[in-house]
Amino acid sequence: MGKTIIISNRLPVQLQISNGTIDAIPSVGGLATGMKSVHSGGESLWVGWSGLTDEETPAALENEIDVALKKHGCAKIKLTEKEIEGFYFGFSNRTVWPLFHYFSEYTEFELEFWNTYKAVNQKFADAIIEKSHDNDTIWVHDYQLMLVPQMVREKRPNTSIGFFLHIPFPSYEIFRTLPWREEVLEGLLGSDLIGFHTYDYERHFLSSVRRLLGLDVSFNDVYLENRVIKVDSFPMGIDYKKFASAAKKHDSNGKDSDLQIKLNSHKQSAPGTKLILSIDRLDYSKGIAKRINAFEYFLNKYPEYKEKVRLIILAVPSRSNVPQYQLLKREIDELVGRINGELSTVNWTPIWYFYRSLPFENLIDLYTSSDIAWLTPLRDGMNLVAKEYIATRTDKTGVLILSEMAGSANEMNEALLINPNNFEEQADTLKTAITMPEEEQISRNTFLQKRLERYNVEVWANEFMGALNRKSEENEPFISQ
Ligand code: GDG
C-alpha cells in the first residue's frame, strides 16, 4: 500500500514572508477546514499552490519555503501571475464557478482562460506524476482541477485516482452551454471514483455524461472500454468534536475576547434581544445582498421586532480581483449603510457588519452567542457553516434557518428550510425562529447534533477512500488484461 496524495488548488497553509522569515498560516475555507483532520492524521502528501506567485517568491528563499511546507506534509506547485490570472481568476472563477452555481449571466467563455486552465492542470498533473508511484492513491479536489484525473491517468494507467467536487454539478441544460463541455467530462472520467455532495449533483453529472459523450451509464457506473467508473454522493461533514469542544471550553474558561465582551454587553443592555448570525465568504452565490433586503422586509412586515433583533453579518473577503465580487462588495456596503442609516435609533443598530476573516475563537464566540443562524445561499455545494453552528450549541438551543439551495439542507431537515428568493416566507420564518419555544429548539437540535456527530469529516474522508480502494480493486482485472 502506497501513500495518499491529496491535490487541491490551494495548500492548507498560507505562506507569509517578512524580514526573511517564513510563516505558514492555516487557510480559511471549506476544504482546508474539512480535510485538516485527515491530512494531519496519516502518511500523506498534499500538493497545491502556496498562494505566492513566482514573482512574489524571493529566489533566495525557495529552499526555505520547501522546508517550511514539508513540515506540514505539503509540496508546492509554482505558478506565475499570468497563470493565476487565467486559470484561477479566469476559467475557475469567471467561467466554472458562476456556471456551476447557475449564474449564467456572470459566466464568461474566454478561449484564453480555457487554454491557461488546461496548461495549469497539466502542470499539476506533471507534478503528481513525478511525486507518485503506481501503488499510491491520488485524491484530486474540486473545480479548479477537473482535467487532472485524465492527465495523470495517461501516464499512470494503474494508479488509483479519486475526484471530489465541492461545488454543485449543474443540470445538463446549464452544463451543455460550456464550449469545452466534452473535455471537462473526459478529464473527470480519468478517475476511478467521482464524488459529489448530493445525489442530485451525481444525477446531473451522469445525465451529462450520457447525453454529451453517449457513454453507457448503469445506476451509478459509467462504462468505458477498459474501465468502469463509479459515481457516488458523499455529503461532507465537519470536525464535530473540534467545534463542540471549543464551544464547551468557551463556556467554562471565563476569559472573554473583546468580541465576546461586546456580545455580552449587548445582551445585558438589551435583555431579550435576539442575535441573528450569518457567516459566508463574500460571494454572490451566498445570497448576502438578498438576505439584507429580506431583513429589511421582515422589519417592515413585523415592526414590533425593531430594537428587538440584530443581524450580524460576517463576510469573509474572497476573490476580490474578480469584478463581480467588487460590485457585490459595493452593493453590500451600500445596503448596510442605507438600512442602518434609516432604521438605527440611539439604542439600536439593526446590522453589525464585519468584512474580514476572524480567528477561530471569535467564530466560536459568534456561533455560541447567536440565537439564530440565518444562511441563505442561492446555490451552495454543501455549506459547512450550517453544520458548525449546530455543533457549537452545547445546551442544544438555537435555531437554524437554512436555504433549500444548500447541499446541507438534504441532511438537515430539522432546520427551518426556506427559499432564499421568497421574502414573505423568510419574514414569517424569522418570526417563527424568534418565538420558537426552547423545548422545540432542543428537540430539533438533538437530532441534528446526533447526525452531525456520526457523519463527521473523518467518516466522510474514510468513506470516500474506502470506496476508492474498492473501485480500484474491481478495475484491476481490466488493467491486467
Ligand atoms: C466550498 C463550497 C462546501 C468562514 N469564515 C471564517 C471561517 N470560516 C470557515 C467556516 C467554514 C468555512 O470557512 C466555509 O465553508 P462553507 O462550506 O460554508 O463555504 P465555502 O468556503 O464556499 O466552501 C461549499 C465547501 O467548499 C466544502 O466542500 O460546503 O458549498 O462552496 O468551515 O468555519 N473560519 C475562520 N474565520 C472566519 O472568519 N477561522
102-147 pLDDT, tens per residue?
999 999 999 999 999 999 999 999 999 999 998 999 999 999 999 9
User: In this predicted structure, what is the pLDDT of residue 31?
Assistant: 63
Q: Whose CA is nearest to atom 9 of ligand 1?
A: 29
Question: Is the confidence at residue 282, as pLDDT, over 80?
Answer: yes
Distance CA 469, CA 187 (A): 20
Whether ipTM > 0.95 holds is yes
Can you tell me the mean pLDDT for 356-365? 93
Question: Is the confidence at residue 97, as pLDDT, over 80?
Answer: yes
Determine contact, residues 195/464, Cβ cutoff 8 Å: yes
Q: Whose CA is nearest to atom 7 of ligand 1?
A: 28
Which residue is listed with cell 513525478?
130
User: In this predicted structure, what is the pLDDT of residue 15?
Assistant: 86
Q: How far is CA 452 from CA 239, 240, 380, 398, in A?
A: 9, 7, 18, 16
The string of pLDDT tens digits covering residues 291-324 is 999 999 999 999 999 999 999 999 999 998 889 9
Burial of 357 (0-12, 13-18, 19+ CB in 10 A): middle
Nearest to 209 by CA among 198, 199, 224, 197: 224
Sorting pLDDT into bands at 50, 70 and 90, what band is 477?
low
The string of pLDDT tens digits covering residues 134-186 is 899 999 999 999 999 999 999 999 999 999 999 999 999 999 999 999 999 99
Cβ atoms within 10 Å, residue 180:
17
User: In this predicted structure, what is the pLDDT of residue 182?
Assistant: 98
Higher pLDDT, 442 or 42: 442
Average pLDDT, the chain: 93
User: In this predicted structure, what is the pLDDT of residue 79?
Assistant: 97
Which residue is listed with cell 492524521?
41
- What does the DSSP assignment read for 5-49? EEEEEE-SEEEEEETTEEEEEEPPSHHHHHHHHHHHHSSEEEEEE
Sorting pLDDT into bands at 50, 70 and 90, what band is 33?
low
The ligand 1 atom at the shortest distance from the C-alpha of residue 358 is 38
First to last CA, the chain: 22
Nearest to 6 by CA among 53, 40, 52, 55: 40
Give me 368's grid cell: 455560541
Q: Whose CA is nearest to atom 3 of ligand 1?
A: 382
Question: Is the confidence at residue 475, as pLDDT, over 70?
Answer: yes
Residues facing residue 141 across a β-bridge: 164
Distance CA 36, CA 266 (A): 34
Residues 6+ apart with CB under 8 A from 202: 169, 196, 220, 231, 232, 233
* Residues near ligand 1 (Cβ within 6 A): 28-31, 33-34, 166-167, 236, 279, 281, 314, 316, 357-358, 360, 363, 380-385, 388
The string of pLDDT tens digits covering residues 209-234 is 999 999 999 999 999 998 999 999 99
